[in-house]
Amino acid sequence: MKNNFDVIDIKGRKFLYSQKVEDHFFNPRNVLDNRADLKKFNARAKIGAPACGDVMKVYLRINPKTKIITDFKWKTFGCASAIASTSILSEMAIGKTIDQAYKITADKIVKALGGLPKKKIHCSVLGDRALRAAIDNFRKR
């Protein structure tokens, strides 16, 4: 019986990733285009984990009247888990109110990805922290 995980060899190190993680790593969604007009985003945050080198930049466009996230772009510098976590998080947040999006937890990101290796769980924590920091940035404006 085949499981839902594949081994990916990255720079000589083997990792066990779900097919969902592979998909979001190799085909990330909502990545910030370098030519994007950053002025259209009214919320932003940058979160980093110096211990592992992962850094996430999150840009949100939030409708000021409805408080619905209408766009979510990001740039992540890090491993496959960090990139996949930010990619799926962007899909999870678009269309939600900021109160609903604020409730997206690291556990929900991991579950949506079909799991992460234990030593990569911190990547999903960075994702939910980045989203909350961007929402906090919007609320302060």
What is the tens place of the pLDDT at every residue in 6-15?
Answer: 555 555 555 5
| Residues facing residue 9 across a β-bridge | 14
The pTM of the full predicted model, rounded to 2 decimals, is 0.85
Q: Is 79 a catalytic residue?
A: no
Return the higher-pLDDT residue of 39 and 34: 39
Q: Where are the beta strands (DSSP E) in 11-127?
A: 13-18, 43-49, 54-62, 69-77
- Is 3.40.30.160 the CATH number for 5-140? no
Instruction: Name residue 21's amino acid.
Output: V
Which residues sit opposite 43 in a β-bridge?
60
pLDDT at residue 88 greater than cutoff 70: yes
Residue from 52, 121, 125, 133 carrying the catalytic annotation? 52
Instruction: Identify the residue with better confidence: 57 or 125.
Output: 57
Tell me which residue of 69, 127, 72 sits closest to 98, measured CA to CA: 69
Return the residue matching tokens 């720079």.
11
Q: Which DSSP helix (H) or strand (E) runs through 6?
A: strand 5-10
Q: Which of 123, 126, 130, 131 is catalytic?
A: 123
**Residue 1 pLDDT class (50, 70, 90 cuts):** very low
As a whole number, the mean pLDDT across the chain is 87
**Cβ-based burial of 39 (10 A; exposed 0-12, middle 13-18, buried ≥19):** exposed
Instruction: Give the start-to-end residue ranges of the domains of the chain.
Output: 5-140
* Residue 96 burial class via C-beta count within 10 angstroms: exposed 0-12, middle 13-18, buried 19 and up: middle
Mean pLDDT of 18-36: 90
- pLDDT of 2 higher than 70: no
Average pLDDT in the 97-119 region?
93
Task: Give the per-residue pLDDT at 7.
Answer: 56
